[in-house]
């Protein structure tokens, strides 16, 4: 009696589970099969209308040409290149000024016995700060406009102002604190701040190094460079020392380092859906598949690995139409082709589910439903 009741209960559960599963369009899955993706392409409508392109040697050549065109069309920091003096004086600068005179002088007299000392003697002034109006005030010379002038030019102006009143005056001017000739580094650096420029012609990478370097890897860091109201972004890892993008800094430049990792996303019949950072300058499709763990042997259709992307720059008005590329990993040649395709930022890598997995999932679900009753029956016997 007990065995018959258990059998009837098992049969009832089998019928109930079969009806429940039959009422569902599909069994639980982590994404579409290759057939469903093809049907999706046929039904797709603008602005997300797409076709599926199988990766062939000809397609690889086209993709590489597209990558080159995108690189050529990308704005680089070299477009901000300009030449500007870095030793001009401006408001807030602090100057050291000394004036040498011989014979009878305006600031002091020196005698040797009954005569005058013919040697030159300096008059060193306390720190002289350039005012907000760009001027300084010196005894006997009056108010002098020094804005934009170099120390050598200021020396000549002072000599001319004192010439009628002194015997052969000679001024010496140096910049003690250089406020007007500064660049600013901020963002993801270890020591942000203001950096004084000098005649050594400090470059962008020099300033980043002086700021303690980036807190993140160069590949994950974007340099936002502002000059004269124009702003350009470029990845730190793309800038080579001494190249046109390694700009010579001029007064007023502002450099901000921003953490913005490049990544691609993995979905479908793989071990784990994930977002994967590039970490290096370039990642091929073959490397991307390997980093993701590849298709799951128990669930994936290895002949249907898809690369989803917009044919242009993601997250921009130039994103372009969507494109889907299919890689058949059952074809040995596909492994060679995958080595020649570069993954782009924000690409989506999808491993299609194998249609043959549906019966296996059904059996697995039925086993899960029956296992408690089978165990209970074994215990009761």
Handedness of CA 220, 276, 74, 56 (dihedral sign): positive
Q: Which band of pLDDT confidence, cut at 50, 70 and 90, is reported for residue 380? A: low
**Number of domains comprising the chain:** 3
Pairwise CA distance, residues 39 & 33, whole Å: 10
Pairwise CA distance, residues 266 & 268, whole Å: 7
Give Cα separations from 146 to 83, 123, 174, 176 (angstroms).
21, 20, 13, 15
The pLDDT value recorded for residue 222 is: 94
Q: Which residue has the higher pLDDT, 242 or 27?
A: 242
The arithmetic mean of pLDDT across residues 81-105, rounded, is 86
Q: Domain for residue 139, yes or no?
A: yes
Q: Domain for residue 350, yes or no?
A: yes
Mean per-residue pLDDT over the chain, rounded: 82
Looking at the structure, tell me whether residues 161 and 239 fall in a common domain: no
Domain span holding position 167: 94-177
Looking at the structure, tell me whether residues 195 and 147 fall in a common domain: no
Pairwise CA distance, residues 208 & 51, whole Å: 45
Pairwise CA distance, residues 228 & 375, whole Å: 78
Domain with residue 348: its CATH number is: 3.10.560.10
Q: Domain for residue 373, yes or no?
A: no
pLDDT tens by residue, 358-373 = 555 444 544 554 555 4
Rounded to 10 degrees, the C-alpha dihedral 234/238/241/245 comes to -40
Residue 381 has pLDDT above 80, yes or no: no
Looking at the structure, tell me whether residues 268 and 352 fall in a common domain: yes
Q: Which band of pLDDT confidence, cut at 50, 70 and 90, is reported for residue 110? A: low
The arithmetic mean of pLDDT across residues 276-297, rounded, is 89
Tell me, yes or no, if the pTM score tops 0.85.
no
Q: Domain for residue 322, yes or no?
A: yes
Looking at the structure, tell me whether residues 267 and 346 fall in a common domain: yes
Q: Domain for residue 71, yes or no?
A: no
The pLDDT value recorded for residue 282 is: 87
The arithmetic mean of pLDDT across residues 49-74, rounded, is 90
The residue from 233, 259, 285 where one domain ends is 259
Find the helix packing angle between 357-380 and 2-22, rounded to 10°: 160
Residue 93 has pLDDT above 60, yes or no: yes
pLDDT tens by residue, 139-175 = 888 899 999 899 999 999 999 998 888 878 899 999 8
DSSP annotation of 270 reads B
Residue 130 has pLDDT above 80, yes or no: yes
Q: Domain for residue 144, yes or no?
A: yes
Looking at the structure, tell me whether residues 332 and 268 fall in a common domain: yes
Contacts of 188 (CB under 8 A, 6+ apart): 214, 215, 216, 221, 257, 258, 259
pLDDT tens by residue, 243-257 = 999 999 999 999 999
pLDDT tens by residue, 173-208 = 998 888 889 999 999 999 999 988 988 889 999 999
Residue 208 · residue 215 · CB < 8 Å = no
Domain with residue 109: its CATH number is: 3.30.1950.10
Residue 361, both tokens? 């999932």
Looking at the structure, tell me whether residues 254 and 322 fall in a common domain: no
């Amino acid at each position: 009696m007990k065995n018959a009741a258990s059998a009837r209960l098992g049969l009832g559960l089998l019928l109930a589970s079969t009806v429940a599963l039959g009422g569902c369009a599909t069994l639980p899955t982590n994404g579409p099969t290759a057939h469903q993706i093809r049907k999706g392409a046929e039904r797709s409508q603008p602005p997300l209308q797409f076709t599926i392109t199988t990766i062939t040697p000809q397609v690889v050549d086209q993709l590489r040409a597209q990558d080159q065109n995108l690189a050529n069309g990308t704005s680089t920091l070299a477009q901000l290149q300009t030449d500007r003096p870095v030793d001009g004086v401006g408001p807030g600068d602090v100057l050291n000024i000394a004036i040498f005179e011989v014979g009878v002088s305006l600031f002091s007299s020196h005698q040797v016995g009954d005569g005058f000392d013919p040697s030159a003697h300096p008059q060193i002034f306390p720190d002289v700060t350039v005012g907000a109006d760009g001027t300084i005030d010196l005894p006997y010379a009056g108010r002098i406009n020094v804005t934009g002038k170099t120390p050598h030019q200021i020396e000549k102006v002072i000599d001319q102002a004192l010439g009628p009143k002194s015997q052969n005056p000679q001024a010496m001017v140096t910049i003690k604190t250089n406020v007007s000739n500064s660049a600013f580094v901020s963002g993801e650096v270890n020591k942000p701040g203001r950096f004084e420029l000098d005649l050594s012609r400090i470059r962008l990478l020099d300033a980043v190094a002086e700021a303690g370097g980036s807190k993140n890897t160069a590949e994950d860091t974007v340099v936002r460079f502002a000059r004269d109201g124009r702003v350009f972004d470029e990845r730190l890892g793309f800038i080579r020392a001494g190249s046109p993008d390694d700009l010579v800094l001029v007064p007023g430049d502002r450099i901000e380092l921003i953490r913005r990792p490049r990544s691609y996303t993995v979905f479908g019949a793989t071990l784990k859906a994930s977002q994967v950072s590039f970490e290096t300058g370039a990642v091929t499709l073959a490397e991307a598949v390997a980093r993701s763990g590849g298709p799951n042997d128990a669930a994936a259709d290895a002949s249907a690995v898809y690369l989803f992307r917009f044919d242009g720059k993601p997250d921009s008005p130039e994103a372009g139409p969507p494109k889907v590329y299919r890689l058949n990993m059952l074809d040995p040649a596909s492994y060679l082709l995958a080595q020649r395709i570069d993954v782009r930022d924000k690409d989506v890598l999808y491993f299609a589910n194998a249609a043959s997995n549906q019966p296996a999932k059904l059996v697995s679900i039925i086993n899960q439903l029956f296992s408690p009753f089978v165990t209970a029956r074994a215990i009761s016997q």
